Amino acid sequence: MINSVIFDIDDTLLNHSGALRKAIDEFYDSYIKGSSITKKDFRNIWNTEQKKYFDDYLNNAVTFEEQKYLRIQSIFRQIGVYIDVDSAYEYFLNYLKMYEKNWELFDDVKSVLEELEDYKLGIISDGDSHQQRDKLKKFRIERYFDSIVISDDINSTKPTKKIFTECLNRLNTESDKAMYIGDDYKKDFKGAIRRGLKACLIDRNSNIKIEEIDNNYKINSLMCLKSILKKVKKE
């Protein structure tokens, strides 16, 4: 029987993609508008470079601080502009303010967390420990979680088994008694399954509330979790 429910943060609890999109557009309007680069093309450049350098950080190729200015330098190079490290870092700090300003918790989060009072709750998230914890603190939801494991804390990222094992150990539970909810098919869904957890893929753009995939589940809202947990209890 499931006794623990573990969540991803970005695009599961918090609308990371929405905040990112708004921040990129604000950055464009502040610094790029009027150039030959369209907003659409700039978004594509930004997303490509951000993913590249954040993956480098997760793979320990660069530090978290280095990826901040390296991605900005690379973005500007893509539009034919060279900037030094200090300028790139200043641009990044301005972008960061835009991103943090646009953080939003999904509407279903708090009510669902309150409904799960009979379960031990955990977090598994890739990223910088301070930033990811700040997201939970801003919306005052960190108190719901018995274990918060961020990749930065243990030098291990999803979908490796280590990060899932760390959270299970802190919750004092076993894999077959835990369910993991996240938005990334490879890192969250398949990663959890490989470690032996029940998995729930969340796709908030789907029109279907609940689907069964790979003997596990796909949902379009956390409001579906209660039904999933009841179903799993009967299995």
Domain holding 39: CATH number?
1.10.150.240
Q: Is the domain of 148 the same as that of 194?
A: yes
Q: Is residue 234 over pLDDT 80?
A: no
**Residue 58 and residue 42 share a domain:** yes
Q: Are residues 77 and 108 in the same domain?
A: no
Averaged confidence pLDDT in the chain: 95
Structure tokens at 232: 């799993």
Domain termination residue (choose one: 101, 122, 153): 101
- β-strands 198-202, 147-150 pairing: unpaired
One domain, residues 186 and 164: yes
End of a domain among 81, 101, 121? 101
**pLDDT single digits (tens) 73-101:** 999 998 899 999 999 999 999 999 999 99
Range of the domain at 208: 4-15+104-234
Shared domain check, 116 and 51: no
Highest mean pLDDT among 29-38, 51-60, 118-127: 118-127
Angle at 227 between CA 221 and CA 228, to 5 degrees: 80
pLDDT, tens only, 216-229: 999 999 999 999 99
User: 28: part of which helix (H) or strand (E)?
Assistant: none
Q: What is the pLDDT of residue 139?
A: 97
pLDDT at 58: 85
Query: What single-letter DSSP state applies at residue 163?
Result: H
The pTM of the full predicted model, rounded to 2 decimals, is: 0.93
The pLDDT of residue 34 is: 83
- What pLDDT does 60 receive? 86
CATH number at residue 186: 3.40.50.1000
How many folded domains does the chain comprise? 2
